[in-house]
Amino acid sequence: MTDGPSFGFDTLQIHAGARPDPATGARQVPIYQTTAYVFRDAEHAAALFNLQEVGYIYSRLTNPTVAALQERVATLEGGAGAVCCSSGHAAQIMALFPIMEPGRNVVVSTRLYGGSITQFSQTIKRFGWSAKFVDFDDMDAVAAAIDEDTRAVFCESIANPGGYITDLDAAAKVADAAGLPLIVDNTSATPYLCRPIEHGATLVVHSMTKYLTGNGTVTGGVVVDSGNFDWSASDKFPSLSAPEPAYHGLKFHETFGPLAFTFHGIAIGLRDLGMTLNPQAAHYTLMGIETLSLRMQRHVENAKRVASWLENHPAVEQVTYAGLASSPYNDRVARICPNGAGGLFTVGLKGGYDACVKFVDSLEIFSHVANLGDTRSLVIHSASTTHRQLTEEQQIAAGAAPNVVRISIGIEDANDLIADLDQALGKASA
């Protein structure tokens, strides 16, 4: 099949990137469980190493199963290319790596996955990079945070732990005015609910661990490049626009045009950082993506029902689901994620920290785990787990205050989910 833009999402999620195997005719994408690939001859090998011919050398760089997944995600996101990596966190480093240098900074939203807040506020300092955290509801503050050393703007579309939708159009406008790429973590939304590139994003990152694979079996990530950014418009991105010493002086943007970022990610990022996705994991994720739209529809439908029910429960202080009429982000849902506000939200309990702990311990269908985006419903008390490393001020800014529980609604029967929440809330407030 040719992956024409005329095909609908439901067709592309099954067919994009996948062709019958040329050697065997296998209809499903085979798991190419191999480390290396035999060169036709020495000349072929040299052409591959010079990036004059595209092909397979070594599975740290490229692998046919992983390549099929890269093409599928790039197609669903409307991007020019994609690079898969070993986790969502690896994808974030891989997205920043070609555009950052020691002394440079990235302007990021305060509303991020807890692990991303730690990665950006602490760990990237080891590379000489830094992050400036800003409230993305205040675009003047985002613009003001950008300085001479800023190289990217980073946010989540539907922000973890839920209920917040970033105005991507506004963020893209600010990044664009400063000549910077906007990087959007689209993990909680998936391309079925939100396509950040259509709102001006340059790069889209995912933790494929979550909804893309969809059943809690894989750790994986991906960076999708829109192909729209002019890396040569300024001298800010020398690794892409100028001769790259790590690849014998190759000029990636001049040589590969809209695929510059993707080629850099493979030829230097995966080659030297080695955060490679394995073909077995790529296979599971390809299988998951085949049903993405169906699952997301049910996640959204269930989340709406459960969130509305919770909102009216006497033990509940507030529910932050952007799909509720009471959410301040209704207009953004319609504009940014028209297929729904996702399956993730938080619930604040009147009984505070102790009630939250009792609540999560009393649930039976919901599992208390540090994960989201699974077919099964999951719950976590962020303040005592994922957001534990943060100060209380950071927890509140990230939507993970001590009396807040994050809920990832699965695709089970909504009546059963409501019954389970009801009995657990009863125990928590007893």
Binding site for ligand PLP (CB under 6 A): 87-89, 113, 115-116, 156, 160, 185, 187-188, 207, 209-210, 219, 221, 372
Instruction: Give the whole-angstrom CA distance, residue 202 versus residue 224.
Output: 9
Q: Please identify, using beta-carbon distances, which residue of 118 and 293 lies nearer to ligand PLP.
A: 118
Q: Give bridge partners of residue 363 from the DSSP assignment.
A: none
Q: Counting Cβ atoms within 10 Å, is residue 14 exposed (0-12), middle (13-18) or buried (19+)?
A: middle
CB 282 within 8 Å of CB 63: yes
Q: Please identify, using beta-carbon distances, which residue of 110 and 187 lies nearer to ligand PLP.
A: 187
Q: Please identify, using beta-carbon distances, which residue of 129 and 263 lies nearer to ligand PLP.
A: 129
Q: Please identify, using beta-carbon distances, which residue of 158 and 180 lies nearer to ligand PLP.
A: 158
Distance set, CA 21 to CA 29, 64, 75, 240, 322 (Å): 7, 10, 20, 34, 43
Work out how close the CB of 427 gets to ligand PLP at its nearest, in angstroms, rounded to a whole number. Answer: 28
Work out how close the CB of 139 gets to ligand PLP at its nearest, in angstroms, rounded to a whole number. Answer: 21
Token pair of 264, please? 């850099």
Q: Give bridge partners of residue 250 from the DSSP assignment.
A: 244
Token pair of 174, please? 């600010």
* DSSP state at residue 379: E
Work out how close the CB of 352 gets to ligand PLP at its nearest, in angstroms, rounded to a whole number. Answer: 25
Instruction: Give the whole-angstrom CA distance, residue 69 versus residue 87.
Output: 14
Work out how close the CB of 388 gets to ligand PLP at its nearest, in angstroms, rounded to a whole number. Answer: 16
- A 10 A CB-CB count for 35 gives 8
Residues 6+ apart with CB under 8 A from 100: 106, 127, 129, 151, 152
Q: Please identify, using beta-carbon distances, which residue of 119 and 150 lies nearer to ligand PLP.
A: 119
Instruction: Give the whole-angstrom CA distance, residue 160 versus residue 49.
Output: 40
Q: Buried b vs exposed e over 212-243: b needs ≥16 C-beta within 10 Å?
A: bbbbbebbbbbbbbbbebebbeeebbbbbbbe
Work out how close the CB of 193 gets to ligand PLP at its nearest, in angstroms, rounded to a whole number. Answer: 13
Work out how close the CB of 249 gets to ligand PLP at its nearest, in angstroms, rounded to a whole number. Answer: 33
Token pair of 307, please? 């969130």
Work out how close the CB of 91 gets to ligand PLP at its nearest, in angstroms, rounded to a whole number. Answer: 7
Q: Please identify, using beta-carbon distances, which residue of 219 and 385 lies nearer to ligand PLP.
A: 219
Report which of 264, 274, 271, 270 is spatially closest to residue 244, judged by C-alpha positions.
Answer: 264
Q: Please identify, using beta-carbon distances, which residue of 342 and 351 lies nearer to ligand PLP.
A: 342
Q: Please identify, using beta-carbon distances, which residue of 156 and 167 lies nearer to ligand PLP.
A: 156
Q: Where are the beta strands (DSSP E) in 190-328?
A: 203-207, 221-225, 316-319
Minimal CB distance residue for ligand PLP:
88
Work out how close the CB of 213 gets to ligand PLP at its nearest, in angstroms, rounded to a whole number. Answer: 10
Work out how close the CB of 391 gets to ligand PLP at its nearest, in angstroms, rounded to a whole number. Answer: 20
Q: Please identify, using beta-carbon distances, which residue of 13 and 119 lies nearer to ligand PLP.
A: 119
